[in-house]
Amino acid sequence: MTASRGEVLQGTLDLIVLKTLDALGPLHGYGIAQRIQQVSEDLLKLNQGTLYPALLRLEQRGWISSKWGVSDNNRKAKYYSLTRSGRKQLAAEAESWERMAGIIARLLGAEGA
């Protein structure tokens, strides 16, 4: 893959969303999308629409909860926030991600040597 803007890796969107909500507190869908683009410095190619089925899935799993509220510029918006079990899930997923990344890194390093 030589594309300059990486596709979101399968299964990592959940982790990204959970982490974002953990770092910034309750956010609406637009806010989450903005944050992801900002942090990744536009390197991550994200169709913002794909965020919504993911948010729904996370909510169905009980990891996040949602509530209608009013945004900064006085518009109605749905705010998502991390739940307790979401926090636990984030920790677990982050750990497994790091373990995986470590393995991949070692593997690539070994191949190079």
Q: Is 8 exposed, middle or buried (0-12, 13-18, 19+ CB in 10 A)?
A: middle
Query: What DSSP assignment string belongs to 86-106?
Result: HHHHHHHHHHHHHHHHHHHHH
CB of 19 to another protein, least distance (A): 20
Considering CB under 8 A, how many residues would be counted as binding another protein? 21
| DSSP symbol at 43 | -
Among 26, 30, 87, 93, binds another protein (CB under 8 A): 30
Q: Confirm or reject binding of residue 52 to another protein (CB under 8 A).
A: yes
Structure tokens at 90: 């984030």
Give the interface segment with another protein, choosing from 1-9, 15-23, 75-83, 104-112 (CB under 8 A). 75-83
Which of 15, 26, 57, 65 binds another protein (CB under 8 A)? It is: 57
Report d(CA 70, CA 77) in Å as an integer: 6
Binding site residues, another protein, CB under 8 A: 28-30, 33, 47-50, 52-53, 56-57, 60-62, 71, 73, 75-78
